[in-house]
């Protein structure tokens, strides 16, 4: 069983206490997407989000690997921020973490800006995913 540690990466965000811009550390992982023989030209910085049910990516990644995402499975997704609903379209693609590659459903939408890896379609492919907020790291057991 392989265990890999991923350090949290800084993002600029509004600090709720000071109401000023500050760094917030989040669990990102570098991945690649593949569809048939096409693979993303660069690594994708994706947020590992235990609060997300599904994988949701910007539509630009679908276009890059040749997925006509609007012909995919339509799904109305609710955003955790403000409860905004957007329409997404699901397609099967491969995710490559550098250690493991697997086929999964990814929902794509024009409105999405940050690639998100969720519980169904990412977390379920691993033995365990653990967040250590104080240590600013994530541990994935393969």
- Please report the DSSP string for 22-40 in residue order: EEEEE-EEEEEEEETTEE-
3-class state of residue 8 by DSSP: coil
Sign for the CA dihedral angle at 49, 98, 12, 133 comes to positive
**Looking at residue 79, what is its pLDDT?**
66
Closest to 99 (Cα-Cα) out of 126, 119, 118, 129: 126
- The structure's pTM equals 0.92
Low-confidence residues of the chain: pLDDT under 50: none
**What are the pLDDT digits (tens) for 85-117?**
889 999 999 999 999 999 999 999 999 999 999
Burial environment of residue 107 by CB neighbours within 10 A (0 to 12, 13 to 18, 19 or more): buried
**Looking at residue 80, what is its pLDDT?**
62
Q: What share of the chain is helix, strand, coil (3-state, %, to 5)?
A: 10, 55, 35
**Looking at residue 78, what is its pLDDT?**
64
């Amino acid at each position: 069983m392989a265990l890999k540690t991923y350090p949290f990466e800084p993002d600029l965000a509004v600090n709720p206490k000071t109401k000023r811009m500050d760094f917030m550390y989040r669990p990102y992982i570098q991945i690649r997407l593949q569809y048939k023989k096409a693979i993303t030209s660069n690594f994708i910085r994706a947020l590992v989000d235990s609060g997300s049910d599904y994988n949701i990516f910007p539509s630009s990644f679908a276009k890059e690997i040749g997925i006509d995402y609007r012909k995919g499975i339509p799904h109305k997704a609710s955003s955790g921020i403000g409860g905004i609903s957007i329409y997404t379209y699901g397609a099967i693609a491969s995710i490559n973490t550098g250690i493991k590659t697997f086929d999964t459903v990814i929902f794509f939408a024009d409105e999405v800006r940050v690639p998100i890896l969720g519980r169904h379609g990412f977390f379920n492919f691993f033995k365990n995913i653990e967040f250590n907020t104080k240590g600013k790291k994530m541990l994935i057991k393969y």
